[in-house]
Amino acid sequence: AYGDRIALIGQNGSGKSTFLKILAGQLPIPKSAIMMPDDIKIGFVPQIPTHDHALSGGEYFNKILTKELLKNPNMLLLDEPTNHLDRRQRSHLVRFLNSFQHTLLIATHDVDVLTTCFNTFLHFENGQTHLFRGHYGHYHEMVCKKRESLLKELHILDLERKSLHQSLMQEQERAKKSNRRGEKSIQNRKWPTVVSSGKARRANETSGRKKKAIRDDREQLEDQLKSLRVRETIEPKFSITTSTRSHHHGLSIKNGCVGYEGKDLLRHLQLEIFPGERIAFLGDNGVGKSTLLKAILGNPNVQCSGEWRRPYLGDMGYLDQNYRALSSHKTVEEELKDRVCDWTYDHVRQHLNDFLFRKNEEVKKLVSSLSGGERARLSLCLIAAQTPPVLILDEVTNNLDLETREHVIRVINDYPGTLFVVSHDDDFLNKIRLTQSYMLQNGTLERKDR
């Protein structure tokens, strides 16, 4: 209805962006498929791709949004608008969304936006859509409760199946004993064999009917579970080898400066991070967060001055939103095997299985054809296989659906080493057990009270 505020949710590839493009008239579709009022005026901002021009992702989004708003739309469509926005830009967007008076449809995985701006959710899953009206927290709670109920029903069915199997085995054993007694009885001119055989046959027929009923019930429950967007969990296993523990895995900077070609982005840096700490660097786009991470990694393109004591480069792992460390020409299996040459085939497959790469077609898939969520899982898989004592994350939740985002949170929470994180995702930061945060602004680095 006019004035509705609807958030489209679901895994990457479930059809949210396609749906928005259809509404915006960018994809062909029969006119009878969607009924549109004659007076509707649509504004559409698609996903902002990674680009190399002078504008930042946030600036480019604002430019396109402004252009669309000049059309005075009475229906606004936004596809993942927060992907490249910093905290200040996100705050402005939330205020705008809450003040927009017309119909609004947005595809997003941003929990803060889902929680504060919307009360109607259209969930895309397995080629179907499900509508829910209410708070996002209530929707998530409802799905979890329904899932728990279905899992309990499946457990009861499994118990019934086992009980039925045991009863059939007992009946068959009784039938065997009766047959043996019957053979003796036949010799004495008696006929219990006919009775015992008929009883066994009837038991088998009854068991078959019950088994079919249980199978049918189980298939129905499993179909319902699929419609609930059930999340599989990752159980990471980390191991930091003792040979690396003798190295320095903290970070010490005294009177440091960071910049490019003689221009300092950050000055007067004083920082002391001890091994095992979990640190976030915060700030608006363009203030130098990613540059600081590159300086920590010893990137030769970044100019540093002052007194620096960094971790050994071979002890640091780096993961960003584009997963550049992956080789596009390799398969999933090859990416892992090339890094753990001493592992057996079974060990490799078990480790891939732990990160939800289970079928042959999944492990033989080229990295170049993986989705964003699959690339994220593979990157986490490699980090767990060769656990670096220091891990650096640069905006890793950008472009991830909610399920993959939960996988990342789970793995990062179990990570045992020193952690440095850059992210604008407050919900993500609140869930990864940070020990300290630092704010970058006006060319300086200041400790932020938690």
Res 331: pLDDT: 96
The answer to whether residue 25 sits within a structural domain is yes
Residues 258 and 405 both lie in one domain: yes
The answer to whether residue 236 sits within a structural domain is no
The answer to whether residue 301 sits within a structural domain is yes
The larger pLDDT score, comparing residue 203 to residue 341, is at 341
The larger pLDDT score, comparing residue 435 to residue 50, is at 435
Nearest-10 Cα torsion for 351, 356, 360, 366:
-90
Secondary structure of residue 132 in the 3-state scheme: strand
Q: What is the CATH number of the domain that holds 299?
A: 3.40.50.300
Q: What single DSSP character describes residue 331?
A: B
For residues 18 and 23, give the distance between their C-alpha atoms in angstroms, rounded to a whole number: 9
Identify whether the C-beta of residue 436 lies closer than 8 Å to the C-beta of residue 271: no
The answer to whether residue 71 sits within a structural domain is yes
The answer to whether residue 32 sits within a structural domain is yes
Identify whether the C-beta of residue 310 lies closer than 8 Å to the C-beta of residue 275: no
Radius of gyration over every alpha carbon of the chain, rounded to an integer in angstroms:
29
Q: What percent of the chain has pLDDT over 70?
A: 84
Average pLDDT score over residue span 18-23: 92
* Beta-bridge partner residues of 256: 269
For the chain, what percentages of helix, strand and coil (3-state, to nearest 5) are there? 45, 20, 35
Taking only the tens place, the pLDDT of each residue in 65-96 is: 999 999 999 999 999 999 888 888 999 999 99
Task: Give the domain extent around 86.
Answer: 5-134
The answer to whether residue 235 sits within a structural domain is no
Residues 119 and 40 both lie in one domain: yes
Residues 147 and 108 both lie in one domain: no
Res 242: pLDDT: 41
* Beta-bridge partner residues of 32: none
The answer to whether residue 440 sits within a structural domain is yes
Max Cα–Cα distance, the chain, nearest Å: 111
* Across 14-23, 194-203, 309-318, 425-434, least confident range: 194-203
Residue 380: which H helix or E strand, with range? helix 372-385
Return the amino acid letter for 213. Answer: A
The token pair that represents 177 in the structure block: 């004993």
Res 227: pLDDT: 55
pTM score of the predicted model: 0.70
Residues 71 and 54 both lie in one domain: yes
Res 180: pLDDT: 66
Average pLDDT score over residue span 226-236: 61
Kindly tell me if the per-residue pLDDT of 193 is higher than 60.
no
Buried b (16+ CB within 10 A) or exposed e, 353-373: ebbbbeeeebbebebeebebb
Residues 25 and 82 both lie in one domain: yes
Secondary structure of residue 59 in the 3-state scheme: helix
Taking only the tens place, the pLDDT of each residue in 119-147 is: 899 988 778 888 889 888 888 788 778 77
Residues 127 and 147 both lie in one domain: no
For residues 318 and 392, give the distance between their C-alpha atoms in angstroms, rounded to a whole number: 5
Q: Return the top range by mean pLDDT from 29-33, 127-131, 144-148, 349-353.
A: 349-353
Among 134, 152, 187, where does a domain finish? 134
Identify whether the C-beta of residue 183 lies closer than 8 Å to the C-beta of residue 193: yes
Cβ-proximal residues to 141 (8 Å cutoff; 6+ apart), any chain? none
Res 218: pLDDT: 66
